[in-house]
Amino acid sequence: MTDGGHSRREWLQWCGGLGVIAGIAGVAGCIGEDDEPLELTADDGTSDTSSDEDTDEVDSAVEDDDADAGDTEDADDATDDDADAEERADDDEDDQSKPDGSARLATLLPKTGDLASFGQSMTNAATLAATQIDEESSLEVEVRTEDTETSPEVAVARAQDLLAAGHESIIGAAATHITSEVAENVTIPQNATLVSPSSTGTGDLDPSFLRTVPHDRLQGAALADGAIGSFDPDSVALIALDNQYMAGIAEATASAVADRGLDITTTVFYEFGQSSYGAELEAALENDPDVLLVQGFHDVTAPLVQQYYEAFDTGAGIVVSDALVDADFVERVEHPMNDVVGVRLAERGPFGEAFERLYQHTYSVDPEPFAANAYDAAAVVLLATFAAGDTTGTAVREAIPPVTAGGGTQITPENLPEGAALAAAGESVRYVGASGPIEFTNGGDLSVASFELAQVEGNTFETVESFIVES
């Protein structure tokens, strides 16, 4: 997606899995880190459903010595004509969780810093889910957003602020290393629930962390089965940009290729901004591989591919990872590339068009990459909150599997308010996401992910087929 100023690949470069690359022109990158813990980013402390003054009132109420009573009084004031909600609040004055007819949603995403444009779009998307329910049903959603400023230290501090204010379910963060800092220092110790829409790094995750974006291992499997497999090769050479994010993708891909009985002849890493890539290309092609797998970012990697065609073209099949499946990359390489294929995340699930219409109608712009994933994260948390009748992190987390993998009424972006009302009434619902299938493993990863096999045609990549990869 390129509308709004940046493509998915640009997002990948800045948020990139295992770290942000300093000095790279342009933004690109999935947010994943295999070698570091997941990192989250936070928003700026403003509320999307209320004014800044309203948010300050919530903060001061929580800081009051009688925080529980303050929360209850806020709920009563917000529902003066709702006798049932008032009665529940009176009966449960000491309970910090909100009553059945209301929910809390917090976002911890970058509104400033390197990832600001993407973080704002994700924040908008998450808030959109809350606004739908708040305005189109009898239920209430209290939203608070925090700005991580694309900084681990700021993210941790803002996450602590959210928990102090009673927000125990947080959508965030963006970059994996920030998500990891928040999880390890805030949400795991305090048993809160953290759901990231964009952190792809692999590694052992706490059950309190979930994500609505496929992890690196799924992308590795997609590359092995979808793109590399299309050439039916016996051997593969891998050449990748030397940074943490690409190292994670490279490791996951090499493992997936080896699992399928193919020979990895060599793995070579290159640096950003080299004057020549001859030595790296010579090393990668030394054993005459059937396929050359190239990983990087379009502005960084285009000179390497250009040099391959000018001086090293062996006729090997060329496969690129998702950050390169972009028209800008094709335009930067001044050579026909019709033999090049790649794999990218499916732009949207079967209900993605409905989400895009809602987003465009609300914000008058197209959503950026990972906005649909953020919407799904918020929708899942809110459905689980209403199903549980409780806003504590533990209760919400335990209610997520039933609303994503159970039976009952199918809920999509088109009927989310209805789904929330059904869940609050104790009815079974099953959410189907804007970004694709939303069903989690016990470890909080997506159990399946939708990908597209794409091939260069003319000056861009065209989708050849879509396919599903299971964890």
Q: What is the pLDDT of residues 222-242, one digit of tens each?
A: 999 889 999 999 999 999 999
Segment 390-417 mean pLDDT: 96
Using alpha carbons, select from 129, 135, 115, 98 the residue that is nearest to residue 195: 129
pLDDT of 41 higher than 90 = no
326 against 66, higher pLDDT: 326
Residue 204, pLDDT score: 62
DSSP letters along 209-220, please?
A: EEESS--HHHHH
Mean of per-residue pLDDT scores for the chain? 81
Angle at 289 (CA atoms; ends 319, 286), nearest 5 degrees: 120
Categorize the per-residue pLDDT at 260 as very low, low, confident or very high, splitting at 50, 70 and 90: confident
- Give the pair of three-digit tokens for residue 324: 């390169």
Categorize the per-residue pLDDT at 339 as very low, low, confident or very high, splitting at 50, 70 and 90: confident
Segment 169-189 mean pLDDT: 94
Residue 203, pLDDT score: 63
Distance CA 12, CA 25 (A): 13
The highest-confidence range among 14-28, 137-151, 219-233, by mean pLDDT, is 137-151
CA dihedral 301, 302, 304, 306 (to 10 degrees): 170
Q: What is the pLDDT of residues 316-325, one digit of tens each?
A: 999 998 889 9
pLDDT of 392 higher than 70 = yes
Largest CA distance in the chain: 78
Segment 123-129 mean pLDDT: 98
The highest-confidence range among 173-177, 342-346, 364-368, 421-425, by mean pLDDT, is 421-425
- Give the pair of three-digit tokens for residue 8: 């998915």
pLDDT of 366 higher than 60 = yes
pLDDT of 15 higher than 70 = no
Class at the top of the CATH hierarchy for domain 43-211: alpha beta
Which residue carries 């305005």 as its tokens? 135
* CB-neighbour burial class of residue 101 (10 A; exposed 0-12, middle 13-18, buried 19+): buried
Residue 193, pLDDT score: 97
Q: What is the pLDDT of residues 263-314, one digit of tens each?
A: 888 999 999 889 999 999 999 999 999 999 999 888 899 999 999 999 999 9
Contact predicate 307/281, CB 8 Å:
yes
Domain boundaries, the chain: 43-211
pLDDT of 196 higher than 80 = yes
Distances from the Cα of 402 to the Cα of 140, 410, 414, angstroms: 22, 12, 20
DSSP 272: T
Residue 205, pLDDT score: 66
Distance CA 144, CA 50 (A): 9
Distance CA 427, CA 408 (A): 7
pLDDT of 195 higher than 70 = yes
- Give the pair of three-digit tokens for residue 85: 């909600």
Segment 401-407 mean pLDDT: 93
- Give the pair of three-digit tokens for residue 346: 């499916």
Segment 436-448 mean pLDDT: 90
Contacts of 190 (CB under 8 A, 6+ apart): 163, 168, 393
Segment 91-116 mean pLDDT: 74
DSSP 299: H
**Would strands 263-270 and 235-241 be described as parallel, antiparallel, or unpaired?**
parallel
Distance CA 466, CA 247 (A): 26
Residue 395, pLDDT score: 97
Instruction: Tell me what percent of the residues of the chain surpass a pLDDT of 70.
Output: 77
Distance CA 305, CA 334 (A): 9
Residue 132, pLDDT score: 98
Residue ranges with strand state E in 283-359: 291-295, 317-320, 340-345
- Give the pair of three-digit tokens for residue 369: 């990459």
Residue 217, pLDDT score: 87
